[in-house]
């Protein structure tokens, strides 16, 4: 096992370099500097401050939120397949956003509708599952609600006109292309709050690895603590999905990758996973922007396209290595 501080420093360095690259790529600034041009053209400064910077911040924050929420929710349910959208949060947000779109709303109202939709789904699950600490019932209720909301979404999409259809694709694929300062501020506010809330529960998350009964015996109030974790992870999913759509696989992949490096201790995991997650989303966004430039791919396509095969490889590798 690598020392945690060293690992975090490496991840941070990789993240910073990637951020710098993504920020400056193709902007002509490096070229200008190399030629001794001290003053930046106003247009390029505008590009950096109004488009690239908020987009970068949204990518960083959503990666951090998705990966820490994924790590926490996998620990809470003792299920390696769990991810932040497990309880139907994504479907709820997408449905609400599609509803807002079909009513002709703009980007920001659609984002807000998406967030409201995710909170509404969470409330609905709370109502139906009566969370008495029983995890499997919570998961199953979430799966059922997810299926229900998903079919409602499909129903709605079939009635949408072409223009709105294109916009809803953004929701289903995930993209940072519409990220502007309002979304960036929302995420900058939410990320530290959610992360801190989850990190404070590291002992509970560790204890839950031993089963819910044992966690209770060790002195944890499962009813309250586990519900808090689910709420925070769902809020994280809601904030991300409402500002940049469904970015697949980051919430699943980043915690798994981190676990390879840190082991399954929740404290180490919650420290390293956000850095790795942010690096993943920033890199994916850079690729999405530059692969087919000037055309742009939805970032969710990149994360799933690269994430799914990598995840499969990871599973094979875990199976083959003897547990020594």
How far separated are the first and last CA of the chain, in Å rounded? 13
Q: Is 226 in the site for another protein (CB under 8 A)?
A: no
Asked if 279 interacts with another protein (CB under 8 A), we say no
Q: Determine which helix (DSSP H) or strand (DSSP E) holds 61, and give its type and residue range.
A: helix 53-77
According to CB under 8 A, which residues from 67 to 86 bind another protein?
Answer: 78
At its nearest, how many Å lie between another protein and the CB of residue 162?
Answer: 49
Distance of closest approach, residue 279 Cβ to another protein, in angstroms = 23
209 counts as binding another protein under rule CB under 8 A: yes
Q: What's the min distance (Å) between Cβ of 314 and another protein?
A: 14
Q: Tell me 85's DSSP state.
A: G
Q: Does 210 help bind another protein (rule: CB under 8 A)?
A: yes
Name the one residue in this structure whose structure tokens are 């929710």.
73
DSSP string computed for 184-228 = HHHHHHHHHHHHHHHHTTHHHHHHHTT-HHHHHHTT--HHHHHHH
Does position 2 interact with another protein (CB under 8 A)? The reply is no
User: Which residue from 102, 134, 264, 290 is in contact with another protein, where contact means CB under 8 A?
Assistant: 264
Q: Is residue 259 part of the contact set for another protein (CB under 8 A)?
A: yes
Q: How many CB atoms within 10 Å of residue 106? A: 9
List the one residue out of 143, 116, 115 whose CA is nearest residue 129: 143
Window of 41-49, 191-199, 211-219, 283-291 that interacts with another protein by CB under 8 A? 211-219
Give the orientation angle of helix 4-24 with respect to helix 266-290, to 10 degrees.
Answer: 20
- What long-range pairs does 202-210 form, CB within 8 A, spacing at least 24? 202/265, 202/266, 202/267, 202/270, 203/266, 204/229, 205/72, 205/75, 205/76, 205/229, 205/266, 205/270, 206/75, 206/265, 206/266, 206/267, 208/75, 208/76, 208/78, 209/75, 209/78, 209/264
Whether 16 contacts 270, CB under 8 Å: no
* Minimum CB distance to another protein smaller for 192 or for 211: 211
Q: Binding another protein by CB under 8 A: which of 143, 218, 291, 292?
A: 218
| Residue 309 near another protein by CB under 8 A | no
311: contact with another protein by CB under 8 A: no
CB of 265 to another protein, least distance (A): 6
Instruction: State which of residues 41, 263, 292, 315 lies at the interface with another protein (CB under 8 A).
Output: 263
Which of 33, 50, 214, 312 binds another protein (CB under 8 A)? It is 214
Considering only residues 11, 15, 72, 207, which one is a binding residue for another protein as defined by CB under 8 A? 207
The reply on whether position 219 binds another protein by CB under 8 A is: yes
User: Which residues would be at the binding site for another protein (CB under 8 A)?
Assistant: 78, 203, 206-207, 209-211, 213-214, 216-222, 259, 263-265, 323-324
């Amino acid at each position: 096992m690598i020392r945690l501080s060293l690992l975090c420093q490496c991840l941070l360095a990789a993240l910073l370099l990637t951020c710098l690259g993504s920020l400056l790529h193709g902007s002509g600034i490096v070229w200008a500097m190399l030629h001794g041009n001290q003053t930046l053209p106003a247009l390029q400064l505008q590009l950096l401050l109004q488009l690239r910077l908020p987009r970068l911040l949204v990518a960083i924050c959503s990666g951090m939120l998705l990966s820490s929420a994924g790590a926490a929710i996998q620990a809470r349910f003792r299920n390696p397949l769990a991810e932040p959208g497990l309880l139907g949060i994504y479907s709820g947000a997408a449905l609400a956003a599609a509803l807002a779109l079909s009513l002709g709303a703009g980007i920001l109202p659609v984002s807000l509708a998406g967030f409201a939709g995710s909170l509404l789904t969470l409330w609905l699950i709370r109502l139906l599952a009566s969370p008495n600490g029983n995890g499997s019932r919570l998961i199953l209720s979430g799966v059922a609600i997810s299926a229900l909301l998903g079919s409602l979404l499909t129903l709605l999409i079939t009635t949408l006109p072409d223009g709105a259809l294109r916009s809803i694709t953004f929701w289903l694929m995930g993209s940072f292309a519409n990220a502007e300062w309002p979304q960036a501020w929302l995420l900058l506010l939410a990320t530290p709050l959610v992360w801190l809330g989850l990190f404070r529960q590291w002992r509970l998350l560790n204890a839950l690895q031993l089963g819910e009964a044992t966690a209770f015996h060790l002195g944890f109030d499962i009813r309250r603590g586990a519900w808090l974790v689910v709420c925070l992870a769902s809020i994280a999913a809601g904030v991300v999905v409402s500002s940049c759509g469904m970015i697949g696989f980051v919430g699943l992949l980043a915690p798994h990758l981190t676990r390879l490096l840190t082991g399954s201790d929740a404290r180490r995991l919650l420290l390293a996973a956000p850095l790795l997650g942010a690096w993943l989303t920033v890199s994916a966004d850079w690729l999405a922007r530059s692969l087919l430039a000037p055309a742009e791919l939805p970032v969710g396509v990149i994360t799933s396209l690269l994430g799914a095969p990598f995840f499969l490889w990871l599973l094979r590798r875990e199976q083959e290595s003897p547990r020594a």
